[in-house]
Amino acid sequence: MKKDPKQRPILVLDEDPTTLELMAEPLRWEGYDVHGFTSEREATEALNFIRPQLVILDPDFAEGNGFHFVNNLFSSIQKVPVMVVSTNPTTEKITQFLDLGASDFISSPFVPMEFLARVRTQLRMRDMQEELLASNSKLQEMIEIDDLTGLFNTRSLYNKLEFEIERAQRFSRPVTVIMIDMDKFKSVNDSHDHLFGSFVLSEVGKIIRQNTRTVDIPARYGGDEFLIVLSEIPLSGVEFFCEKLRNRVEQHTFSSGPDSIKLTLSIGFATYDGDPTTTITGKELVRRADAALYEAKHQGRNRCISYTPKIDRLHKFEKSSVSLLFDKNKKTA
């Protein structure tokens, strides 16, 4: 779709006002939003307020040091095409600017129609680049986001978690993994249907999104399990967050058509304090949070439990007791 030229700011830079006007006038014919400047200071200040879609530059701009100015300019206007217009198009100068990153080089005086055609070409190429970046971003989102809940999926979860752990170590700040499981969720599908079960999961995902920050990492871990990574929040803040989330779901009525149900959550969480003298992997932090979740289920569900090493010892003892009982029954059978 062709864009309105009025919505396309173009920056024109030339120290000679007459030459600047010769470049700006054809652009105005086409209806572009033209901003012309004859000094380096004015042009630099303008970039604080103007987001140009194209820059047209005389290489002798900035007191004959256009090369240096463009070099600095590219750092602040990344991905914006730059056309160089020169009355002295030597091979050395053309090569120099194209190697620097200029998109096109045109000799002056020029034929206005050719000049405008080159401008349109640069703007088309810019649009194509923007569309490609947008498509790649959308594709990345489709890969990382769970369709049902709108949360991250496990495909990218561990990479994000490892990054947060590295950052926690670098700045000695805490990072927490929270594991969440819907209590008795099987009863939802047994008493209603799978469509209603999907509705409930999507609603829980919505509640989680509403209660997390943009810097947090909320994910659907699988089935009716969810995982949230919180960074830079002290233990008291994590406890408050978990209890608030648990209470929000407990107070919520899941209703869709004739179906309605009340549900609760069990939550387990584990925190790494960011101590640079100790190390921990993302998988280990998730395992600890999962162990705390298991303990929350074991204690009666609908509660929040923080991981401690004691939980591992309790679970190890329980598993050993079950194993001994199983062996004893085998022998007496």
Q: Give the residue numbers annotated as catalytic, written as ranges.
A: 224
**Residue 122 — φ and ψ, nearest 5°?**
-65, -40
Instruction: Give the whole-angstrom CA distance, residue 8 versus residue 202.
Output: 41
Backbone φ and ψ for 174, nearest 5 degrees, come out as: -75, 155
Please give, one letter per residue, the 3-state secondary structure of the chain.
CCCCHHHCEEEEECCCHHHHHHHHHHHHHCCCEEEEECCHHHHHHHCCCCCCCEEEECCCHHHHCHHHHHHHHHHHCCCCCEEEEECCCCHHHHHHHHHHCCCEEEECCCCHHHHHHHHHHHHHHHHHHHHHHHHHHHHHHHHHECCCCCCECHHHHHHHHHHHHHHHHHHCCCEEEEEEEECCCHHHHHHCCHHHHHHHHHHHHHHHHHHCCCCCEEEEEECCEEEEEEECCCHHHHHHHHHHHHHHHHHCEEEECCEEEECCEEEEEEEECCCCCCCCCHHHHHHHHHHHHHHHHHCCCCCEEECCHHHHHHHHHHHHHHHHHHHHHHHHC
The answer to whether 82 and 55 are in contact (CB under 8 A) is yes
Note whether 292 and 270 are within 8 A (CB): yes
Cα–Cα distance between 177 and 288 in angstroms, integer?
Answer: 9
